[in-house]
Amino acid sequence: MEITLLGTACAVGGMDRDNTYFLIQNREDCTMVDVGGSPLSKLAKLGISVHQVKEIIFTHFHIDHVYGLPSLLWGMWLAGRTKPLIIYCSSENEVQLKKWLEVIDIHQWPVLFEVQIHKYAWRTESLLIKEEELMITTFPSLQLGPTVGLKIQYKDKVLVYSADTEPNSWIKEQKQIDIMIHEATTAERPRVNHTSLQEIINYYPLERIDQVVAVHLTDTEPYDRVLDSQVIAIKDKIIIGFDFMKINL
């Protein structure tokens, strides 16, 4: 299974970074986690058809994580899609999602595929996807409003995606994590509802986490300074994510 980071910027965007979202590729089908800017050109650059995007998982409904949805739906319509699209969102965001689909008038285009909204309870762990070798579950993040992180299990490997959050005890308590994709909106200073790279290093048991990929990044933050001040064993575990970075699980 392969994950491609489609964007790695925080809410204000970046000069060379799209807002944070990514693609999970498992065989022919893909799952998009959040939808930042320019999803159509990102898919085109990867050589992936919009027909291959089977489902979308929204971790939360802040604009930087959802604003690409109309463009993605538009591209699916233009491509003549007929197979259903599944959208996962928290129960609290279902009404907002439906209103938004109404505002962009997808029934008037008319979209020829069914948009199936699967809602999940965000305050508890929720099972979203269970296939042969892949399982995706949610866990609550510590953000303003309903937000979830994702635990992605593939064969015997575990990847955890924090989504937007303050340092999260749920992640800290995991026995073993192969890859942790974690937001690092700032490098050194703590910021409410978010996490700094320094906090990732100080808070989480990195001896139980094989690799850390930092996303949701801010252009002007001194991430390299934080990494350079670490011992090699810590520094070697942490990658500052970049758009189109591939992660194999």
Instruction: Give the residues lining the site for Zn ion (CB under 5 A).
Output: 11, 64, 164
Nearer to Zn ion, 13 or 70 (CB): 13
Nearer to Zn ion, 64 or 166 (CB): 64
**Exposure string over 217-244, b if 16+ CB within 10 A, otherwise e:** bbeebebeebbeebeeeeeebbbbbebe
CB 62, min distance to Zn ion, A = 5
CB 195, min distance to Zn ion, A = 12
Nearer to Zn ion, 163 or 177 (CB): 163
Nearer to Zn ion, 137 or 193 (CB): 193
DSSP state of 79: T
CB 243, min distance to Zn ion, A = 15
Instruction: Count other Cβ atoms within 10 Å, centred on residue 135.
Output: 15
CB 49, min distance to Zn ion, A = 27
Q: Among residues 184, 247, 186, 241, which one has the least CA distance to residue 16? A: 241
CB–CB of 99/48 below 8 Å?
no
| Backbone CA torsion sign across 170, 166, 36, 97 | positive
